[in-house]
Amino acid sequence: MRSFFVSLIFVLAGFSLRAFGAPAPAAAPTAPVAHGQVDWSARMLNATGSGAPDLKAPNAASARLGAERAAKLDALRNILEAVRGMRVTGNQTGASELDKNAELKAKVEGVVRNFKVMDTKYYSDGGVDVIVQVPVDGVLLDTLVPDVGKAAPAVTDPKAGDPTGLVVDAKGLGAVAALAPRLLGDDGKEIYGADRVTHEAAQARGIAAYAKSLDEAMRDSRVGANPLLVRAARAAATQSADLIFGADEANKVQKLASLLAAGRVIIVVD
């Protein structure tokens, strides 16, 4: 009998998720984060908030409004949890950054309060669910990665036949997606990172995009019609966003510095 009820719970849970209108999984990498999810393809933080009706409310309308307010507060908590779990750079998560800087934490909380409600679901029992989004780039990027653009060269357009962007093959290396990944030479020196992308480019498209297949990355408009494909030698550490190149590949990437200042980088991960 107990196994029957356990099975029933899982069936109902699956039905509930469909009823809530949760977004379909993206083709490109998504990273589950606490009560939310980072969609690195759409470059969005997504979360769901739930609110129950106040049984002491004077009428059904008041109970419904209270449930909606509670759902938005729950969504805010969940978006904040998603930020805390999100990889910012290297092995640093949002939590490691926020926990050591109260001012930064307050700024991030202010940013995510402006989440966009993508969908609202009302239920017959008076409960409410809201699905919300916050862009990974823009104000949140500026807040968490203040060094964006500080060492960026001028952006130059590629000449005929030159590479139009960079695709980094990091499959099988245990690398993970992050807000501000770095590309490093085998001597540990940075070749590309947040400080080497212009502020305008970072605001428009972020430091780097992520894909799950080379074919998908090579066809992406972000890297243009003639992207250069390079293979990373290894991740800087286990579950790190930073990638290290051998000497030959590092030299190829360095030659694209003025092009990459436009953020035309896609990293292919598992």
Q: In the beta sheet, which residues pair with residue 134?
A: 45
Long-range CB contacts (within 8 A, 24+) of 248-257? 250/184, 250/185, 250/186, 250/191, 252/228, 253/166, 253/183, 253/191, 253/192, 254/185, 254/191, 256/163, 256/166, 256/228, 257/153, 257/191, 257/192, 257/196
Is the predicted pLDDT of residue 23 greater than 50, yes or no? Answer: no
Q: What is the predicted pLDDT for the residue at 35? A: 66
Q: What is the pTM of this model?
A: 0.80
Q: In whole numbers, what is the pLDDT of the chain averaged over residues?
A: 87
- Write the pLDDT tens digit of every residue in 161-195: 999 999 999 999 999 999 999 999 999 999 999 99
Using CB atoms within 10 Å of the CB of residue 264, give its burial: 0 to 12 exposed, 13 to 18 middle, 19+ buried: buried
Looking at per-residue pLDDT, the higher value among 24 and 189 belongs to 189
Q: What is the predicted pLDDT for the residue at 41? A: 82
Is the predicted pLDDT of residue 89 greater than 60, yes or no? Answer: yes
The sign of the torsion formed by the CA atoms of 216, 160, 233, 41 equals negative
Quick one: what percent of the chain has pLDDT higher than 70? Answer: 87
- Write the pLDDT tens digit of every residue in 224-258: 999 999 999 999 998 899 999 999 999 999 999 99
- The number of residues in the chain equals 270
